[in-house]
Structure 1
Amino acid sequence: MNRTPPLSLTERRRLATQLEIARAAAELFTTHGTDATTAEAIAVRAGVALRTFYRYFRTKQDAVGPLLAVGGDRWRALLAGADPDAPLPDALRGAISEALAVPDEAAADGLRQARGLLRAAAGDPALRAVWYRVNQESEDRLRPVVAELMGAGARPLDVRLAAAAATDAIRIALETWAETDADVTGPDSPADLAVRCLRGLTGGAGGAG
């Protein structure tokens, strides 16, 4: 698989600033709600000028996009590193389980923050649209990873089905978990639900089943 060239210092700084703004937005959204949070408040919390905020994001809801995308970036990297000889369903389950695992308190806090954002999105169509857009972009980026694991003879339809099933398994699991008070680990945790969702979604999908 082709390696992505290393980012320049300027690009790394830009991404770091975006993520800092995203964390500030997520904290304010989950604490005060989207209606009571302004772009100005997010900029102040992130320690940047308002013009810097608008250089990167059109709306306050857009600001959480980079934070929501972090999990997808990590799990695609895990899948890309899976054993190429392993059956695809096993590779998908393994990568999803590891991506949603909670090895430390920082990972637990990340999931709890995602829960707060998803609860806020339930009452904010613009924030919900950002969540769906992030998932669609993740699915698009997942296709070449899945295609690589499936091999040169993989049919495009099977690749798309597998990528869609894996993305939807995580999305549905997180949305379902956010509606409950289940813990970050154990029964009905994000990892547990995602594996169950993947099993249900891939049960009849040709290349992914």
Structure 2
Amino acid sequence: MNDRKGRPAGLRERTRRAVQAEIVTTAMRLFLERGFEATTMEQIATEIGISRRSLFRYFGTKEDIVLGDHAAHGEVLRAALEARPANEPPWEALRAALRELLESLPYSAEDFLKITSMLHASPSLRARQLEKRQQWTELLVPDIARRLGAAEDLMTQVRAHALAACALACSEVATETWVRSGGTVDMERAFDEAVAAVRG
């Protein structure tokens, strides 16, 4: 495991990452078993066998535990977009990148449905999720602007922001539809329908 500069991570950093992963795994299990709002940081700390103070050294809030990997997912999405053919139109490239992100998630369809349902049911999680999605938009804009042909032009930046934001909004609508259907609706078809409505 390497650090951000490609160097092998030290023992302390590897230990920290291992503890963070254990916290997330344990907390997600408790959230799914008991509900997000009903689970406390104290219960999470007790389940893991660490003090509440130690838990707060890793995560300040329950929302941070659930959405802490959202930033990493944003980087996966950006990398997937940048790996698409340079001449691929923005909408097609965004669709393919979002599909790659979804396929990269380490959850079964059943667990992903439970986690997504939990996200949609909690107002505090929804608020934080929207904040993270804004960060994703910023990550996607440079590549979209290049695909539009004039990355430094102000109006191109406007169009790139609009495209990235709309694609993520369509993804959110498709995911919400999938959750409401209990996982029976085809998420990609719902995304395509949302995009068609925006582009029509």
Q: TM-score, normalised by structure 2?
A: 0.77
Q: Residues 14-29 of structure 1 correspond to what in structure 2 (within 5 A)?
A: 14-15=16-17, 17-29=19-31
Partner of 2:134: 136
Distance 2:150 2:15 in 1: 37
**CA offset digits 1:33-82 (Å, max 9, x no partner):** 12320102223445554223212332222321124445433322211100
Determine if the alignment matches structure 1 residue 40 to structure 2 residue 42: yes
Partner of 2:143: 145
- Report the 3-state secondary structure (helix = DSSP H, G, I; strand = E; otherwise coil) of the residue aligned with 2:68: helix
Deviates more, 1:156-165 or 1:50-59: 50-59
Q: Which has the higher contact order (CA 8 A, sep 6+)?
A: 1
Distance 1:65 1:24 in 2: 14
Partner of 2:80: 78
Distance 1:7 1:137 in 2: 26
Greater percentage in helix: 2
**CA offset digits 1:148-173 (Å, max 9, x no partner):** 33333451111110110121122222
Identity of aligned residues (%): 31
Q: Please, which runs of 5 or more residues in structure 2 have no aligned partner?
A: none
Kindly provide the amino acid, as one letter, of the partner of residue 163 in structure 2.
Answer: A
**CA offset digits 1:112-142 (Å, max 9, x no partner):** 2432322432xxx222222222212222222
Q: TM-score, normalised by structure 1?
A: 0.74
Kindly provide the amino acid, as one letter, of the partner of residue 31 in structure 1.
Answer: E
- Report the 3-state secondary structure (helix = DSSP H, G, I; strand = E; otherwise coil) of the residue aligned with 1:9: coil
Q: Residues 44-123 of structure 1 correspond to what in structure 2 (within 5 A)?
A: 44-46=46-48, 48-101=50-103, 106-109=107-110, 111-121=112-122
